[in-house]
Structure 1
């Protein structure tokens, strides 16, 4: 794939995803280049990704936000997508999200996770996600159901948000900053499958609690900013 043919860069944060990467990278839609951000893997994930044709970026600072930011910085396409690299989400579902950004319908599109089986999304993670989505609605007016890891936006717009969280709060900070800028945020349902391998975040209770703590920090920071600088009404999904 030449630089001219790349319409979307797909950022895949990666920590020990050797078992999932062949399937994920084999599901790329046309015009989408994979940027695999190796975040400290010890299972050969980076070499596998490179052998399968992905651009591999190394980010030594651990954290979801650190990995995604490194990928967006390395991207060159006008649009950037983000997706977990664990095969829980299918890159083949991206075109529906991409179209809404390309045609100007939305500034940020989220893939709303719809569990494809009973074991796809642990109950504690679903409940935490639902509670956070409700808090986002109260804080911003955005009517969302999921702080999903699959999302699409314009690269430069994302960089201009000036996001600073480098841990689990990054996806929430992106939504809060987008709402503050009056972005049009939309959701599209996407199947959510059991991940391949061991979960590092919301698949465990400890990981979920860590994510909740990081996101509470992001919500508190947003509330402080809003108190100092009232913003215009936000677009809702």
Structure 2
């Protein structure tokens, strides 16, 4: 199955991520207009590389979905904060959710394993948004983590519109509205490699929270 890796200047982190990809999981690196050697490094480590010239986390994820070929897709960050070794447990949980016949969505609940892996401002913003989401969608999630697994065609049919940081929250909202079973499992969360664009900075966290709050007001489960 394909593993979509939205990528913006992650040349330093990609070797660790790609060499830990489990058998049967095909890395699909979506280069979101990187200015470093991310695309070359990814290709050199056997990944399929797709260009997403329009900047934005959601834009990169959507381009990856369009390019994916498998029935099930996984999504995870390319910054070495998440371990690809956790992917088989994620997809096994998805298989269990899908036994009833409906599409399912499984998220990785981040469990920090190193100093500085999840700064307090980012953790607080995530908790506030998760509570708001649960009230809106009737879910019981504790994290809006970026490691996920779901059926590809069903995800495309959700017609996700956000192309920025609101994309992960919109995915859950629309999946809940469509009646999907939604679950989460614990996954390790490490200090990322290289400089952070989102959770490692207060400004990045503020932008992400703003995008997600906008999605909360625009999408009604």
- Residue 62 of structure 2 corresponds to residue 69 of structure 1: yes
Structure 2 gap segments, 5+ residues each: none
- Residue 188 of structure 2 corresponds to residue 191 of structure 1: yes
Deviations 1:166-206 (A, max 9, x none): 00000000000001011100100001000000011121100
Give the superposed CA RMSD: 1.0
Q: Which moved more, 1:101-110 or 1:147-156?
A: 101-110
2:172 alignment counterpart: 175
1:213 alignment counterpart: 210
Q: Write out aligned runs for 1:6-17 (5 A).
A: 8-17=1-10
2:95 alignment counterpart: 102
Report SS of the residue matched to 1:177: helix
Shift of 1:102: 2.8
Q: Write out aligned runs for 1:123-142 (5 A).
A: 123-142=120-139
The 1-side partners of 2:75 and 2:185 are apart by 14
From 58, 69, 79, the counterpart of 2:72: 79
From 142, 145, 165, the counterpart of 1:145: 142
Report SS of the residue matched to 1:202: coil
TM-score, length basis structure 1: 0.90
Structure 1 gap segments, 5+ residues each: 1-7, 227-237
Report SS of the residue matched to 1:217: helix
Q: Write out aligned runs for 1:43-54 (5 A).
A: 43-54=36-47
2:82 alignment counterpart: 89
From 40, 55, 79, the counterpart of 2:33: 40
From 50, 54, 71, the counterpart of 1:57: 50
1:229 alignment counterpart: none
The 2-side partners of 1:64 and 1:122 are apart by 20
The 2-side partners of 1:176 and 1:194 are apart by 28
Deviations 1:99-118 (A, max 9, x none): 12234257000000000023
How many residue pairs were aligned? 217
Deviations 1:52-93 (A, max 9, x none): 110100001000000000001100011000000000000110
The 2-side partners of 1:189 and 1:101 are apart by 13
